[in-house]
Amino acid sequence: MNSAKEEVYQQCQTQIQALCEGEDDGIAKMASVAGVLHNEMADFFWTGFYRVVDGKLVIGPYQGSVGCLRIEFGKGVCGTAAATGETQVVEDVHEFPGHIACDERSQSEIVVPVRNESGDLIAVLDVDSAKKGAFDELDRVCLERILEDVFAGPVIP
Ligand code: SME
Residue 157: per-residue pLDDT: 57
The span from the CA of 107 to the CA of 102, in Å, is: 11
Give the domain ranges of the chain: 3-151
Residue 1's identity, in one-letter code, is: M
Q: Dihedral, CA atoms, 34, 42, 15, 66, nearest 10 degrees?
A: -10
Q: Is 110 in the pocket of ligand 1 (CB under 6 A)?
A: no
Predicted local confidence at residue 153, as pLDDT: 80
Q: Is the CB of 19 under 6 A from ligand 1?
A: no
Q: Mutate which of 100, 106, 111 to test ligand 1's pocket (most atoms within 8 Å of Cβ)? A: 100
Range 3-151 classified under CATH 1.10.10.10: no
Residue 71 in contact with ligand 1 by CB distance below 6 A? yes
- Nearest CA to 49 out of 143, 112, 105 is that of 112
Q: Is the CB of 64 under 6 A from ligand 1?
A: no
Q: Are 127 and 53 in contact (CB under 8 A)?
A: no
Which of ligand 1's atoms lies nearest the C-alpha of 50? 4
pLDDT by 10-residue block (mean), the chain, 157 residues: 87 96 95 98 97 97 96 97 98 94 93 96 98 97 97 74
> Which residue's CA is minimally distant from atom 5 of ligand 1?
102
**What is the C-alpha separation between 16 and 10, in angstroms, rounded?**
10
Q: Is residue 41 lining ligand 1, measured as CB closer than 6 Å? A: no
